[in-house]
Chain A
Amino acid sequence: DAGVIQSPRHEVTEMGQEVTLRCKPISGHNSLFWYRQTMMRGLELLIYFNNNVPIDDSGMPEDRFSAKMPNASFSTLKIQPSEPRDSAVYFCASSFSPDLFGGPRVDYEQYFGPGTRLTVT
């Protein structure tokens, strides 16, 4: 299996530029998560989708951040405009989850992609 695929692996950009991070989840998974990891704040959930629908975006820090999942095999996280404090490693993770709204509960694990290291200068 290919696992979760993220691109680019490294991104260096100047303050004010638009940054787009991409994620391809594992085939068959129906939940997708975007995390940000920094030394100061640790691993934070930004947003997650279930069946391509955003379920919780309360972790998105500001309106400069937006995420989309146009289909089951692709998601983007966009930062516009970028700022130096956005520098972090951004992880995408996917899992198979039951119906959140009343379906039987089964166990799941989140499979993380390799991450995108973003540096904003």
Chain B
Amino acid sequence: QQPVQSPQAVILREGEDAVINCSSSKALYSVHWYRQKHGEAPVFLMILLKGGEQKGHEKISASFNEKKQQSSLYLTASQLSYSGTYFCGTETGNFGNEKLTFGTGTRLTIIP
């Protein structure tokens, strides 16, 4: 079952904040966030693991609500470089198995 992302698209002015949500119908082991720029490959942003462990590479933050089977990605003080399509990838089950199911994506456009 593909996770549902919202919103589907958002346009922001530079410096504004954005929240992207990812909901699953199944119990989650982990949630992975990736960003893809047009014509390029997805690039890893962050992993949130069951139990609260969180690992990432950039100045972004995210939450993982295991009970609600949801994750949210927070982009604050957005920069032009944040533009792209954001995907959540969910890993379901109690122990995880590396198999990611990606959401339909949220297209983020940052304008000057």
Which A residues are closer than 8 A to B by beta carbons? Answer: 31, 33, 42-45, 48, 50, 55-56, 91, 95, 97, 100, 105, 107-115
Contacts and interface: CB of A to CB of B under 8 A. Distances in A.
B103 interface: yes
A48 B100 CA distance: 10
Interface string B1-26: 01000000000000000000000000
24 contacts: A33-B100, A42-B104, A42-B105, A43-B42, A43-B102, A43-B105, A45-B100, A45-B102, A48-B99, A91-B41, A97-B98, A100-B97, A105-B95, A105-B96, A107-B53, A108-B47, A109-B47, A110-B32, A110-B44, A110-B100, A111-B44, A112-B41, A112-B43, A113-B41
A108 B42 CA distance: 15
Interface in B40-63: 40-44, 47, 49, 53, 55
Q: Interface on chain B toward A: helix, strand, loop, or mixed SS?
A: loop
B101 interface: yes
Contacts of B96: 105
B64 interface: no
B41 A115 contact: yes
A67 to B, nearest CB: 15
Contacts of B103: 42
Given A42-B103, A42-B105, A109-B32, A48 B41 contact: no
Interface in B62-112: 87, 95-105
B47 A45 contact: no
A117 to B, nearest CB: 9
B98 A50 contact: yes
